[in-house]
Amino acid sequence: MTIEAGQPLAGQPTTARQAGARRPLGELGLAALGRAGRAALLATGRPPVPDALEPLVRVHRQHHPQGDLALLARAYRLAEASHRGQKRKSGEPYITHPLAVTMILAQLGAGTTTLVASLLHDTVEDTDLTLDQVSAGFGPEVAYLVDGVTKLEKVDFGAAAEAETFRKMLVATGDDVRVMVIKLADRLHNMRTIRHMKPASQVRIAKVTRDVLIPLAERLGIQVLKAELEDIVFATLHPEEHARTRALMADHEAEPDTVLGPFAGRLARQLAEAGIAAEVTVRPRHCVSLHRVLLERAAAPGPDGQPRGPQPADFGRLLVVVEENADCYAVLGELHTCWTPLPGEFKDFVAAPKFNLYQSLHTAVALEGGAVVEVLVRTRRMHEVAETGVVALGDPTPAGPAQDTDELDRTDPARPGWLSRLLEWQQETPDPDAFWSALTADLAGDREITVVTESGETLQLRAGATCVDAAYLLGEETGHRCIGARVNGRLTALSTVLRDGDVLAVLTEGPPADGGQRGAEPSGPSPEWLAHARTPAARLAIERWLADHPARLPVVRTGPAGGQPAPPAHRAGERRSAPVAVAGRPGATVRLARCCTPVPPDEVAGYPIRGGAVAVHRTGCPAGQRLRADGRTELQVRWRSEDAPTARHRATLLAEALNRPRLLADLTAAISAEGVGIVSAEVEPPQELRVRHTYTVELPEPGALPALMRAMLRVSGVYDVSRPHAPEGARGRHSGENGGDRPAPGVRPSWGIHGRSTALSGHMGPGDGRGSSPQPYSDQRTE
């Protein structure tokens, strides 16, 4: 569909009565003149309209035969009188601009009220006409539309005038989407005449059109407007590439069609034989669409390793229009039966419409000669909506108190889903520069994805959104309490980019383990989340939290909690009894290895070292195995049970967690609450929002280790607590816990307590985060 603006009609004779000699008034009496006027009115069945409106009226009556032409005529006369004497940059009378904009809207099928507002859309901004006068003459509905597209004065807003004007239009669009439709038609005609502007103004206007208006046209589904705007912007910002692409299109048009046309005929005959009523046409690509295809061709090398040039099938696609939804799938069956479909090219936007109401079946088939042809299949109604978007849905009617409206109805032209989200976050950005940056960033993605939560809720997100964005889309409180995510059943980092159709679970902080009030306020997001937030709503919520909660340094307590007895101090020179007895060496000095920190009842082995001492390692410790490989004799050792009450043991624990604020403070508090002293603590830099803490602790008695590890695991965000250098077969869940892994035969269990999820280490690649499938958390809930 090509939209024509029409010819400047003001002041040109268009009827024989205007062009020829007129009969003197005296030859007809007043009564005869009145009878002639009434006869003409009865003959045509409608009141006369100004000659300049005749082309517009013809187009409008094709879509709205009962349109109020008298109202249109009255609006035109007021606009013409208000703009009389004004000129455009091209030198044409100014009234040609509102006429052209209104013609564009009439060709889209807009209603009479929209056309009336379009004729008057510049009167309040550029003439002495006031908004009250428009409301008095044409009603508050027309006045609202005119006010919505009226620019704010630079005198009042300075450099922020453009950003605030767009904010004003978006807010007005939230109540009536026709405001943005009129603005898009206005920008299209201005872009058609952009050659009359200064070069610097051309570039500035083209960039704003590219960054804001074209994405808005895409979101409203008005593809005919979007396509022409894209081509003009392409010609303005990249004239050389535009010229090359246009030359390729002209060369292709000059040659006979050997692929698309013949295939369209074959497909039409096949569908007729199958009894499917359908229209098959070839839709040529517009300039920007072809340029994108050429870029893809250049980036994909051919069989010889060289970039592939354009193919005849690249210059267009086949469109099949049918009557019923079921016929769409019948056509698809014929296509895939008679020709070879390309894997991965089929998309069903009929069962799952796009966010801008677009519905079609997309597929691609390979022909005998190797050519690949793209085919679109849709019904007539789908085609109308695909071309003109929300305009095809008709003028929105405000829902009154007695009307029932479905809040989840995505076909509501007055409030599409993406617009509702945009209006929510724009209220939180009073700064014009911040609003403009957030607006262009939000509109940068030209498509949306659908994500389903494990509870069945459907989330609409922009392409490139992460788990952070999904968490905040579920609610600001959910976002603040988020500590991790599970995508398609697999534990993943919050920075993971979501894909269309993913199944998501947002893991949040649960209530405090002690039942107190510590969990009343969530730990909240960390500054690193801003790097992973793609939607303005998520970024603004994170920034608000960080502003309201300045960074607090955790207090690390390295002793037992209050009320717990402190470990006895050892005087200088006091010798503690050895906790391990070495067979055959009763007086040998024993050193418990720091690499694996053995604790009763671990299976241990001794190895002689310098000075006659014996190093005791856990069985299977890599360091002990290296000593044995170097020729050291393995000595039989055993724990002294009689010394257990007085001996104190050091143990090293690894806690792997999803990073969050105050995690270090919560872990150290949990350790101290068990009456365990912290000898040292080390925190590795976070990777993919995961962090590892290493603690060396001094146990009051060996039996305290399992309870300590369980207490650490109960801290929100901690998914794995283990001991380093665990022997093969012994590192796993504590014996008997949730049916966990049991140690190898003959090996006593070595404590390694995990949540009901597989540890992330070794399962998540950088940047993807889609690893092996863990089980749900045992101490966390999902939203």
Tokens 């998540």 sit on residue: 764
For residue 629, pLDDT over 70 is answered with yes
Q: Which two structure tokens, joined as six digits, stand for 720?
A: 């794995």
Q: How many other CB atoms sit within 10 Å of the CB of residue 584? A: 7
For residue 347, pLDDT over 60 is answered with yes
pLDDT of amino acid 261: 92
What letter does residue 524 receive in the DSSP assignment?
-
Most confidently modeled of 228-232, 514-518, 603-607?
A: 228-232
Provide the pLDDT confidence category of residue 446 given band limits of 50, 70 and 90.
low
Question: Which percentage of the chain shows pLDDT scores above 70?
Answer: 72
For residue 420, pLDDT over 80 is answered with no
pLDDT of amino acid 27: 44
| Averaged pLDDT of the chain | 76
Q: Do strands 448-453 and 458-462 pair parallel, antiparallel, or not at all (unpaired)?
A: antiparallel
pLDDT digits (tens, 9 = 90+) for 206-264: 999 998 899 889 888 899 999 999 999 999 999 999 999 999 999 999 988 889 999 99
Q: Which residues contact 205 (CB under 8 A, 6 or more apart)?
A: 190, 191, 194, 197
pLDDT of amino acid 163: 80
Q: Which amino acid is at 630?
A: D
What is the enclosing helix (H) or strand (E) of 275? none
**28-42, 52-66, 122-136, 425-439: range with lowest mean pLDDT:** 28-42
Provide the pLDDT confidence category of residue 25 given band limits of 50, 70 and 90.
very low
Question: Which percentage of the chain shows pLDDT scores above 90?
Answer: 30
Q: Which residues contact 85 (CB under 8 A, 6 or more apart)?
A: none
For residue 355, pLDDT over 70 is answered with yes
Tokens 């008695």 sit on residue: 701
Q: In a 3-state reduction of DSSP, which class is residue 63? A: helix
For residue 564, pLDDT over 60 is answered with no
pLDDT digits (tens, 9 = 90+) for 451-490: 888 888 878 787 888 999 999 888 888 888 888 888 988 8
The secondary structure of 46-59 as a DSSP string is S----GGGHHHHHH
Interval 149-166 mean pLDDT:
75
Cα angle 276, 280, 283; round to 5? 155
Q: What is the largest CA-CA distance in the chain?
A: 143
pLDDT of amino acid 234: 94
Provide the pLDDT confidence category of residue 631 given band limits of 50, 70 and 90.
confident
pLDDT of amino acid 435: 74
> Which one, of 547, 504, 542, lies nearest residue 524 by Cα?
542
Provide the pLDDT confidence category of residue 421 given band limits of 50, 70 and 90.
low
Most confidently modeled of 278-282, 309-313, 444-448?
A: 278-282
pLDDT of amino acid 206: 94
pLDDT digits (tens, 9 = 90+) for 520-529: 566 788 888 8
Catalytic residue positions, numbered? 125-126
Most confidently modeled of 334-338, 365-369, 716-720?
A: 334-338
pLDDT digits (tens, 9 = 90+) for 678-690: 888 888 887 767 7
pLDDT of amino acid 22: 39
Provide the pLDDT confidence category of residue 666 given band limits of 50, 70 and 90.
confident
Q: Which two structure tokens, joined as six digits, stand for 773?
A: 């499938």
